[in-house]
């Protein structure tokens, strides 16, 4: 179990390199521990552009109660791990508890598969716009959309706004303004 406020980040083969590394490093700078969880622990996964990231833990062993939020990066990885029952369960728990659920680009596939985007204002890659709308969400073509505890962005160029949105939600949730 993490000792400081921690964020769970899903990781897997062919993740979008910048959408893992920029949030990970920015959140560490902000004082959070970032736990990268993949299908297996201690595995080096390569991003779409070849950058490696070692998983700190296995998704199956994670508990949402250990974290203040979750990051769903994009790439081709989300289409693979969104099929895992534990990924969907964790996302449903984060949502039920009003904790940060952040997705960028194709990372939105994970909350879609978890069934938690209904009646949420969100964005993502234009490539998943139909999926977002079919999930019952309102798609907005903006660099960042913050709707309660949900934060979403479209692409790597949106990462600065994405992280500002994440930090805004995390700041409110740690003061109890979003919970309850």
Catalytic residues: 106
- Measured distance CA(122)–CA(132) in Å, rounded: 8
Specify burial of residue 36 (Cβ count, 10 A radius: 0-12, 13-18, 19+): buried
Specify burial of residue 145 (Cβ count, 10 A radius: 0-12, 13-18, 19+): buried
Helix (H, G, I), strand (E, B) or coil at 57: strand
Helix (H, G, I), strand (E, B) or coil at 94: helix
CA-CA-CA-CA torsion sign (40, 52, 87, 57): positive
């Amino acid at each position: 179990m993490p000792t400081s406020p921690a964020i769970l980040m899903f990781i897997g083969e062919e993740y979008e390199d910048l959408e893992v590394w920029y949030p990970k490093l920015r959140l560490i700078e902000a004082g959070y521990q970032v736990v990268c969880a993949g299908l297996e622990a201690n595995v080096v996964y390569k991003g779409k552009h070849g950058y490696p990231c070692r998983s700190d833990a296995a998704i199956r062993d994670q508990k949402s109660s250990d974290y203040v939020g979750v990051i769903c990066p994009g790439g081709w990885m989300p289409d693979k791990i969104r099929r895992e029952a534990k990924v969907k369960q964790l996302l449903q728990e984060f949502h039920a508890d009003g904790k940060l659920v952040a997705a960028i680009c194709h990372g939105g596939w994970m909350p879609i598969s978890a069934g938690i985007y209904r009646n949420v204002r969100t964005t993502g890659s234009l490539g998943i716009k139909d999926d977002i709308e079919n999930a019952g969400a309102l798609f907005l073509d903006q660099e960042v959309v913050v709707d309660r505890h949900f934060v979403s962005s479209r692409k790597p160029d949106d990462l600065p706004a994405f992280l500002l949105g994440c930090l805004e939600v995390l700041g409110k949730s740690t003061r109890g303004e979003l919970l309850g």
